[in-house]
Structure 1
Amino acid sequence: MLEYIIICLFALLASGLTFFSGFGLGTILLPVFALFFPLDISIALVAIVHFLNNIFKLSLIGRKADKKVILKFGIPAILAAFAGAYLLTLLSETEALISYSLAGTTFYITPLKLIIAFLLFVFALFDIVPRLMKLNFDPKYLPLGGLLSGFFGGLSGHQGALRTAFLIRAGLTKEVFIGTGIAISILIDISRLTVYSAEILEIKSEIDYPLLIAATLSAFAGAVIGNSILKKITIEILHRVVGIMLLLFSVLLALGIV
């Protein structure tokens, strides 16, 4: 019963919080699931909750998604993500620069994590510093943004943060920004679940389906709350929320925690 309370509470809170940022749900939920289940089962459960929650969010605000941005940004991002993931397999033996232990857990700081953390930190400043908040990318650079975010996302696994860092600077309204990000995220979820499908089928008998349903419904509730709050905030506030989350994420990444 304890796992139901903890997982559902975090699913609700994380879904509501990440509704605005477009990233972080999986990052928050994975360690929570891993408290109660083996890592392989946790990864599968989080991937399913993430995908179903994105589908639900699409039903809430998907009509606001910009199809041109999805094509110009999303398609290059997905293709580049495969290239980044392939390079990751070649670099998998790269040693960490520093490792340290905290509360019985060992964290590793790698060159790749430091690079991604630096990029996110710089983008965060554009959403926090007033003078920089007025700067936007020209739409012609969307394919380049998709390529870079997809490649580094495939390489590091942090597609959501990098995608948000680019899209928030594309001069979109708050509804279009969130709806477009969700649509692109679903495309990435589909490609990811295609890879995970064989593993999910192997462990299907070990999955706690009532808990999976409860966690998914909790995430839905969080998305509804997030969507209701969205109507009351301005694009400037959204920029600051995204900037703070990017800043926090960059610090955690640089410390090897995520």
Structure 2
Amino acid sequence: MEYLVICLTALAASGLTLFSGFGLGTVLAPVMALFFPVETAVAATAVVHFANNLFKLALFGRRADLSVVLRFGIPAMLASLAGAWALVRVSGLPPLYRYTLYGNALEVAPVKLLVGVLILFFAVRELRGGKGARPHPASWLPLGGIVSGFFGGLSGNQGAFRSAFLLGAGLGKEAFVATGVVLACLVDAARLTVYAGLTGPGVLRGNPGLIAAATLSAFLGAFIGARVLGKVTITAVRRLVGGMLVTLAAALCLGLV
């Protein structure tokens, strides 16, 4: 049963992630946690996430905007190390509040609430009409890299911030997707160097078949998404990103992820 549920989740989330720039880790980790201890779920998700980003890099990397990668990616990599270090310092903080929903005990950590509020701000700014509908200007890219990288290292939610800032870089849909993939690989590589000692290689030895199946399912989702990409417009991508940002922000603030 776990193979079917996890593989279908990886396939669907990977397809959506291709357009939005985020979502695979956010969706897959809670599903993994239904079947495995939390530390195993996090480690297994990280492996699938990084492998899928490398696969997408092979598909789209050549279409990335090098200027955006440099202006956004270098600050993001450095900030992700600071965020990963901060995670160790704040991981022991008590939750801000706890509540019960349909018999399930939920709690909201300070970091998750902060990330959720910030993501919601960027999402509303992107989706609202009128003068406020203008995306973040390209001059904000270094700042976006710092914000995305830091919170990526701190909470793993760098993709949402990255997409919010990349929408203002004036990229076409292919360049938007490709640039996001390159940046995701850079940040993943940086923060995984900090995380590596926390879980060790045991997760790979204990669940090689499941991790391989989930990774292949994510590859298939990215491949299908690549076929669909040519049929959508950048406006559709922007609306999808904005809607997913709002959904993710709400889930973080409510303690659902």
For the 8 Å contact 1:137–1:171, the answer to whether it is kept is no
CA distance in structure 2 between the aligned counterparts of 1:212 and 1:96, rounded to whole angstroms = 31
For the 8 Å contact 1:80–1:150, the answer to whether it is kept is yes
Q: Displaced runs of 4+ in structure 1, greater than 4 A?
A: none
Partner of 2:33: 34
Residues 131-155 of structure 1: per-residue CA shift (max 9 Å, x gap): 3575233333211111122223333
CA distance in structure 1 between the aligned counterparts of 2:173 and 2:203, rounded to whole angstroms = 39
- SS state at 1:99 partner: strand
CA distance in structure 2 between the aligned counterparts of 1:109 and 1:4, rounded to whole angstroms = 29
CA distance in structure 1 between the aligned counterparts of 2:51 and 2:60, rounded to whole angstroms = 15
Bigger Cα displacement from structure 2, 184-193 vs 97-106: 97-106
CA distance in structure 2 between the aligned counterparts of 1:152 and 1:124, rounded to whole angstroms = 16
CA distance in structure 2 between the aligned counterparts of 1:46 and 1:35, rounded to whole angstroms = 13
For the 8 Å contact 2:50–2:185, the answer to whether it is kept is yes
Residues 163-190 of structure 1: per-residue CA shift (max 9 Å, x gap): 1111122221111111111111111222
For the 8 Å contact 1:21–1:164, the answer to whether it is kept is yes
Percent same amino acid at aligned positions?
50
Q: Does 1:175 align with 2:174?
A: yes
Residue 218 to residue 203, structure 1, CA distance change in 2 (3 Å)? closer
CA distance in structure 1 between the aligned counterparts of 2:116 and 2:245, rounded to whole angstroms = 9
- SS state at 2:200 partner: helix
CA distance in structure 1 between the aligned counterparts of 2:111 and 2:36, rounded to whole angstroms = 28
Segments of structure 1 that go 5 or more residues without pairing to the other structure are: none
For the 8 Å contact 2:64–2:175, the answer to whether it is kept is yes
- SS state at 1:181 partner: helix
Aligned pairs, number = 256
Letter in 2 for 1:9: L
Residue 65 to residue 133, structure 1, CA distance change in 2 (3 Å)? farther
Partner of 1:206: 206
Alpha-carbon shift at residue 245 of structure 1 (Å): 0.0
- SS state at 2:127 partner: coil
Residues 106-129 of structure 1: per-residue CA shift (max 9 Å, x gap): 322234333322221121123322
For the 8 Å contact 1:126–1:243, the answer to whether it is kept is no
Q: Does 1:194 align with 2:193?
A: yes
Q: Does 1:249 align with 2:248?
A: yes
With structure 2 as the length reference, what TM-score do the two structures score? 0.91
With structure 1 as the length reference, what TM-score do the two structures score? 0.91
Letter in 2 for 1:6: V
- Computed over aligned residues only, the root mean square deviation of the Cα atoms, in angstroms, reads 2.0
CA distance in structure 2 between the aligned counterparts of 1:4 and 1:99, rounded to whole angstroms = 32
Residue 7 to residue 132, structure 1, CA distance change in 2 (3 Å)? farther
For the 8 Å contact 1:127–1:242, the answer to whether it is kept is no
Residue 216 to residue 101, structure 1, CA distance change in 2 (3 Å)? same
For the 8 Å contact 1:99–1:107, the answer to whether it is kept is yes
CA distance in structure 2 between the aligned counterparts of 1:165 and 1:27, rounded to whole angstroms = 16
Letter in 1 for 2:6: I
For the 8 Å contact 1:136–1:171, the answer to whether it is kept is no
CA distance in structure 2 between the aligned counterparts of 1:246 and 1:132, rounded to whole angstroms = 20
